[in-house]
Structures are given as C-alpha cells and as structure tokens.
Amino acid sequence: MYSSKVLEHFRNPRNMGKLKEPNGIGKVGNVICGDIMWIYIKVRKNKIAEIGWETMGCAAAISTTSMISELAKGKTLNDAMKIGRNDVASELGGLPPIKMHCSNLAADALHEAIYNYLSKNKMPIPKELQKDHERILRELNSVEHRH
C-alpha cells in the first residue's frame, strides 16, 4: 500500500521533534481525520535554517512531514512557500488516495509556520499565504471543537 520511500521516512523520520527557540510555528488540524500537527522553523537571513515537527497523525503524516522538512530546510522563505501539497506526495512516490489528506497537513503546517514568522515580524504577507492561513485557521477551529 505504501511506497518504499514512504516506509523509509516512517522508519527514519528526519528533523522530528520540537525546536528549542523557533521563530515561526505552524499548527494545523486535519478536518478529515481530526489529527493535529505542528511545524517549527528557525529563520535566519531569510532562509529556513532549522526545522522540526510533531504530529499526532498516522504513518503517512509522519512520512510526509519528514519529507517536507527535508525539502524546506535551507530554502529561502519564498521557495519554501512554493512547496505545495502535491510536491510532497509525488516526491514520496505517491500515496494511497485515502491518505492524500495526510500529506496536505504537512504542506499546510509549513505554510502556516512561514505565515507566523512573517506576521510576528510585521513583514508583508503574500495574498496566497493569507488565504491559506484563513482556511487553515477555520479548519483548526473545527477540529479543536471536536476534542
């Protein structure tokens, strides 16, 4: 059901855990399964210098977040913002359709961490990121109401 790459990331997750002093935090909730995920970033000189994450999600969520953390590390904020939902699943050799919503969680959490960093530092926020943020917040609220 899972590709060998998904399993490999699940067994050896990269960058897992909370960062000590992140300057951006993204928290998202999955409206389909109710799972929650956090991505922590430390931005230096406009680049993602460090990244960490925690998830209550499933194997697919762990693998996709591990993969997205590798893709995002070292990228400028602009390039990291372009990492989208489909990139993650396709890098991993595809996911079973029933698990696609899990990979969306990782991309959303990354975008949300970047949003958090930009807004805390009063930096301009691109329209797309603002739209993502509003949707993510709505979804998170609906998930948290269920717990």
Annotated catalytic sites, by residue?
Answer: 33, 102
For Cα atoms 40, 78, 71, give the angle at the middle one, nearest 5 degrees. 55
Among 57, 65, 89, 117, binds ligand FES (CB under 6 A): 57
- Our finding on whether 143 is near ligand FES (CB under 6 A) is no
**Residue 71 vs 102, nearer CB to ligand FES:** 102
- Our finding on whether 58 is near ligand FES (CB under 6 A) is yes
Give whole-number Cα distances, 89 to 9, 67, 70, 121, in Å. Answer: 12, 9, 13, 31
Among 35, 50, 132, 139, binds ligand FES (CB under 6 A): 35
For Cα atoms 139, 10, 70, give the angle at the middle one, nearest 5 degrees. 75
Instruction: Tell me if 49 sits within 8 A of 118, measured CB to CB.
Output: no
Q: Which stretch binds ligand FES (CB under 6 A): 29-37, 106-114, 122-130, 136-144?
A: 29-37
Site of interaction with ligand FES (CB under 6 A): 30, 33, 35, 57-58, 60-61, 102, 105
